[in-house]
Amino acid sequence: MNYHHTDDIQCQPQNPMDLFYSGHTVKICAPMVRYSKLAFRALVRKYGCDLCYTPMIVAADFVKSVKARDSEFTTNQGDQPLIVQFAAKEAQVLADAALLVCPFANGIDLNCGCPQRWAMAEGIGACLINRPELVSDMVRQIRNQVNNPRFSVSIKIRIHEDITRTVDLCRKAEAAGVSWITVHGRAIEERHQPVHYDAIRTIKESMSIPVVANGDIKSLKEAENIHQVTGADGVMAARGLLANPAMFEGYDETPLTCVQDWVDIALEHGTPFTCFHHHLMYMMERITSKQEKRVFNVLSSTSAVLDYLRDHYGV
């Protein structure tokens, strides 16, 4: 596996649960396919992010293949507290994956929220919200096999049309020993409909463990409002952080210092050009004109991007 400074990070004492009892709303970077990788996690941590997730990793591939482990999971000493998110449908496979990352991360999260057709067809992701016994068994197996009480086991879910079913799922997971639950306040078939913050509140009121609110959080002000409305212990952002990695520090749009930081971090980490460029396209969405976007978005090399940023923004 691609661990930098492996010897230094094999004894991580940090317990992510401590964040939830710190008295402030925990600010979290969501698991995002292709995007929430090490370099981007380093960036958002500089701007007020308390906890970061890896992109979703398919546990079965991760356990079977050294190549998958090397390409899917990279971390270093500054990359904590860190949660590794897995998609799985078998308890032992998930426990095996947890044992592999346990020395290098602070917890794992089971994806019970991915609504993509391929995931549902595989029996992973959001279809797990309809299998509460299996989810509970998965949590229990990790608790039994990972010999580290400070290692967290969380789940990220979507909601049912009938919220009592979601509450039942959450209570069963809590009884099995889950550390916290992140709730994306939409049902499986909902994409761009408004988030049901009232449902997140109902779940929070039914649990004694921390609950994290997720869905359409685009600014620090919105994060604070959603905390008030739901009573959630944490807020998790995805696209809001892509568009503005400094969002949790209270910036309304990406400041140029953040653009500069991304350039420095991405180059230092050897980030592939496409990923480096895509992040900048997201970050500069609100601060560039249509005409500028037309030019910037088709640049095809790191040097062309660096020249453009220097000439137009002094970065």
User: pLDDT tens across 145-186, in order?
Assistant: 999 999 999 999 999 999 999 999 999 999 999 999 999 999
| Mean pLDDT across 113-135 | 96
For residue range 93-121, list pLDDT tens digits in order: 999 999 999 999 999 999 999 999 999 99
Asked if residue 266 and residue 232 are part of one domain, the reply reads no
pLDDT at 14: 76
- Measure the CA–CA gap between 123 and 90, rounded to whole angstroms: 10
Domain of 44, in residue numbers: 2-245
Q: Are 88 and 97 in contact (CB under 8 A)?
A: yes
Q: Which amino acid is at 19?
A: L
251 is written with which tokens? 């910036």
Question: Confidence band (pLDDT; 50, 70, 90) for 1?
Answer: low
Tell me phi and psi for residue 158, to 5 degrees.
-105, 175
Asked if residue 271 and residue 173 are part of one domain, the reply reads no
pTM above the 0.85 mark?
A: yes
Asked if residue 202 and residue 142 are part of one domain, the reply reads yes
pLDDT at 23: 87
For residue range 258-269, list pLDDT tens digits in order: 999 999 999 999
- Measure the CA–CA gap between 196 and 186, rounded to whole angstroms: 6
Q: Are 83 and 108 in contact (CB under 8 A)?
A: yes
Asked if residue 210 and residue 87 are part of one domain, the reply reads yes
pLDDT at 102: 96
Tell me how far the alpha carbon of residue 265 is from its chain's centroid. Answer: 19
Q: Are 286 and 304 in contact (CB under 8 A)?
A: no
Asked if residue 265 and residue 226 are part of one domain, the reply reads no
Asked if residue 95 and residue 40 are part of one domain, the reply reads yes
CB atoms within 10 A of CB 250: 13
Break the chain down into helix, strand, coil percent, rounded to 5. 50, 15, 35
Kindly list the catalytic residues. 114
How high does pLDDT run on average in the chain? Answer: 95
Torsion 164-23-213-152 (CA) sign: negative
pLDDT at 8: 45
Cis bond before residue 13 (omega within 30° of 0): no
Question: Confidence band (pLDDT; 50, 70, 90) for 80?
Answer: very high
Q: Are 215 and 195 in contact (CB under 8 A)?
A: yes
Residue 291: inside a domain? yes
Using the predicted structure, report yes or no on whether residue 6 has a pLDDT greater than 50: no
Asked if residue 234 and residue 133 are part of one domain, the reply reads yes
Burial environment of residue 245 by CB neighbours within 10 A (0 to 12, 13 to 18, 19 or more): buried
Using the predicted structure, report yes or no on whether residue 252 has a pLDDT greater than 50: yes
Tell me how far the alpha carbon of residue 40 is from its chain's centroid. Answer: 11
Asked if residue 294 and residue 171 are part of one domain, the reply reads no
Asked if residue 268 and residue 170 are part of one domain, the reply reads no
Question: Confidence band (pLDDT; 50, 70, 90) for 73?
Answer: very high
